[in-house]
């Protein structure tokens, strides 16, 4: 197990513990079922999602060097450095690279999951495209979505030089640090649910 895989496992465990803590705190406002003691915890996000949640307007060109924006500034420093190095190399090859989504608040991730559930008709279908706040690497700052298609293609071919790997076969834009620079990327997962 390399250090990137180990780090992903530690972060996932940390998020799960945090989510359980949030769920425990929510019991005061939750409805307790009589037979099973089940909790009904509302998942819908109230209020607008903002730049402070990591929101980037669709179609907005955000450079990996725009560190004044939370979506970029809150990325893991190692991931950000790798993306910036890759963006510089891609630019030298005539391929512009932008961040279409980076760090996201748990609130924003839940909002995306809620939208996907509505759009695709079920949580099961939504999970193939959007991870839960507890499992999302965007929430920990460990994932970045890259635009444009040429940049995604460039990163698919050259990203391992920087430790950047496409993680899901159905998301050519989603990259994480998943190998040592110059290493081999792991086999892609089918989707965010897998």
> Global pTM?
0.77
- Residue labelled with tokens 């513990």: 17
Residue 38 has what pLDDT?
A: 35
Residue 54 has what pLDDT?
A: 97
Residue 61 has what pLDDT?
A: 84
DSSP 189: B
3-state helix, strand, coil in the chain (%, to 5): 45, 10, 45
Residue 3 has what pLDDT?
A: 55
Centroid of chain to Cα 101: 8
Residue 55 has what pLDDT?
A: 97
Rounded Cα distance, 33 and 53, in Å: 33
Residue 34 has what pLDDT?
A: 31
The answer to whether residues 78 and 144 touch, using CB atoms and an 8 Å cutoff, is no
Residue 41 has what pLDDT?
A: 33
Mean pLDDT per block of 10 residues along the chain (194 residues) reads 50 44 34 31 67 92 96 98 98 97 97 97 95 96 97 98 97 97 96 86
CA separation (Å) from 131 to 81, 120, 139, 143, 156? 24, 14, 10, 12, 21
Burial class of residue 118 (count of CB atoms within 10 Å of its CB; 0-12, 13-18, 19+): exposed
For the chain, the domains span 45-177
CATH architecture, range 45-177? 2-Layer Sandwich (3.30)
């Amino acid at each position: 197990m390399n250090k990137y895989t180990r780090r992903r496992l530690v972060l996932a465990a940390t998020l799960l513990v945090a989510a359980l803590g949030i769920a425990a705190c929510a019991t005061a406002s939750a409805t307790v079922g009589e037979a099973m003691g089940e909790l009904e915890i509302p998942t819908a996000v109230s209020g607008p999602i903002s730049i402070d949640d990591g929101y980037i307007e669709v179609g907005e060109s955000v450079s990996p060097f725009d560190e004044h924006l939370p979506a970029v500034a809150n990325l893991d420093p190692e991931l950000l450095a790798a993306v910036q190095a890759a963006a510089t190399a891609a630019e030298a090859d005539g391929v512009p690279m932008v961040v279409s989504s980076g760090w996201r608040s748990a609130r924003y991730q839940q909002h995306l999951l809620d939208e996907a559930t509505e759009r695709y008709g079920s949580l099961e279908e939504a999970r193939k495209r959007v991870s839960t706040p507890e499992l999302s690497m965007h929430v920990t700052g460990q994932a970045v979505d890259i635009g444009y298609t040429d940049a995604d293609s460039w990163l698919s071919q050259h990203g391992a030089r920087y430790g950047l790997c496409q993680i899901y076969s159905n998301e050519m834009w989603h990259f994480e640090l998943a190998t040592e620079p110059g290493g081999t990327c792991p086999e892609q997962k089918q989707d965010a649910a897998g």
